[in-house]
Chain A
Amino acid sequence: MDALIRVENLRHVYKTASGDKLALDGVNLSIDAGEFVAIIGTNGSGKSTLAKHFNALLLPTSGKVFVDGLDTSDEENLWHVRENVGMVFQNPDSEIVAAIVEDDVAFGLENLGIAPDKIRERVDLALDAVNMSGYKVFAPSKLSGGQKQRIAIAGVVAMQTKVIVLDEPTAMLDPQGRREILSLVKRLHAQGKTIIYITHFMEEAAEAQRVFVMERGKILRVGTPHEIFTNVAEMKRLGFDVPVAAELAERLRGKFKLPKNILTADELAEALHR
């Protein structure tokens, strides 16, 4: 089967006042339909630049990005690409455009020229999907950060894209808001959406099926959360945290005989009980 998203030798150069800046340096990857992948990397590693290529907000300086087989750099494909890939950003306040919640969710659909009764139906479904049906006529400014971010996600759900790209959606939220967003993302994945989730929170990345580790514009490692995060020494060296159970397991290996791939509290508890 052909991958839903395929990136080949992608380079991206930003032109700045102080010269060219190489943000992506030969990225290759493919993501299948229905996958949940996380992208981690330090600030400036190229994660957000990469994300913006998935729906043609940025175009490659060289190399190719294909979405559902369509080359994003071909202008004729632009609408098709954006119909397939929705984006959610870090700051909900800069994404919300309308004075009441349901207008905000409808905004993208109105721009597609969809009939009003169809729009209403899709907005209702989308708000239901993010558990915000009760807030239809609320002013977004009255909502918490987590609720605002759920409205932003509803806007993308209403577009019925196959792929949802979330660029640090929880960075500005409190613990409650972070939990809300992560469980919503997992639910959308279970319903068949392809999820690309960028985050600085390693416990969130550990929920994905595959993790891409980026550094200096390159993809350094790809693997399951177990493969990536149980390599504690290497992750630390690269400047990442690992989930706390993996780190504690690593420290205890001197004293106890523990299996190599411990990532969760349950796995550590089970290993210690033996």
Chain B
Amino acid sequence: MINVRDVTYTYMTGTPFEKTALKNISFDAAEGEVLAIAGHTGSGKSTLIQIVAGLIDLTSGSVEIDGLPVADKKIRRLVGIVFQYPEQQLFEETVERDIAFAPKNFGLSDDEISARVNEAMRQVGLDASLKNLSPFELSGGQRRRAAIAGILAMKPKYLILDEPTAGLDPKAKKNLLREIFGDVKKSGVTIILVSHNMDDIARFADRVIVLAQGEKIFDGRPRELFAREEILRRAGLEPPPITQLMRRLGVDEIVLSLDEAERILQKN
């Protein structure tokens, strides 16, 4: 369980450039949950996930993960964070060595390392035959998955993904989401998904937190969020295209998928 209590974060405290990036944020993330964090650029999303991952120190408030304060080094093995465009951080000579990097640092046996590499590759849908290639010989979508596999090989209990599909073509995007919310999720990991793609949030998130100017302005189910136009407007977000389309067609219900839309229209 992740418990975030009254977290405030201020940049450059005591200088003329002082700026509060997060104000009194509180929330919990339950085990096995998919929690989305939405908000436009500059809303505080990135700062928040870096605090949860223990990468930057909070100014006031507390973050606990499984009862441990976030400053405790032990949490580094519990939380895996995948930054935007993670493939830019691939650096090893082969895909296998790149994915093995974290387990190796954990001091695991060679057998355990290779088992973890195989499992992580399977989870993200990368064929084992790609193991010995240079990361640069992979396609854009494959590189992205290799980078995510490198984090999964740590076997984190909590996985934070910052815009995991940004810049991918529709097909690569669909495949990656299918793997993350299929095999990866089934392994029991808790997922925090940072995204401004409302379609992805509608389809995969159990719950969504919306940030605007460093404040939490919504915490609830995606379906509830898309009924709250004033919240969306304040956050600079829009309902998913299918939700907007159904509204345009005069349907009052909040519709989140094509399947739902089809069912509703066929009834009438």
Determine if B12 is an interface residue (Cβ-Cβ < 8 Å).
no
Contacts of B249 in A (CB 8 A): 265, 268-269, 272
Contacts of A140 in B (CB 8 A): none
30 intermolecular pairs with C-beta atoms under 8 Å apart: A42-B169, A42-B171, A43-B139, A43-B141, A44-B139, A175-B40, A175-B198, A175-B236, A176-B40, A176-B41, A176-B236, A200-B167, A200-B169, A200-B170, A202-B170, A203-B241, A239-B169, A239-B170, A241-B170, A244-B241, A245-B245, A248-B242, A248-B245, A248-B258, A248-B265, A251-B258, A265-B244, A268-B249, A269-B249, A269-B250
B262 touches A248 (CB 8 A): yes
B167's partner among A168, A244, A272 (CB-CB below 8 A) is A168
Determine if B93 is an interface residue (Cβ-Cβ < 8 Å).
no
A251 CA to B257 CA, complexed, in Å = 12
A265 touches B248 (CB 8 A): yes
Which A residues contact B (CB, under 8 angstroms)?
18, 41-44, 90, 144-146, 168, 171-177, 200, 202-203, 239-241, 243-245, 247-248, 251-252, 255, 265-266, 268-269, 272
Contacts of B40 in A (CB 8 A): 174-177
A266 CA to B42 CA, complexed, in Å = 34
Which B residues contact A (CB, under 8 angstroms)?
40-42, 137, 139-141, 166-172, 196, 198, 236-238, 241-242, 244-245, 248-250, 258, 261-262, 265-266
B225 to chain A, nearest CB (A): 14
Contacts of B242 in A (CB 8 A): 244, 248
A163 CA to B71 CA, complexed, in Å = 53
Contacts of A241 in B (CB 8 A): 170
A265 CA to B236 CA, complexed, in Å = 22
B171 touches A239 (CB 8 A): yes
A7 CA to B42 CA, complexed, in Å = 42
A267 to chain B, nearest CB (A): 11
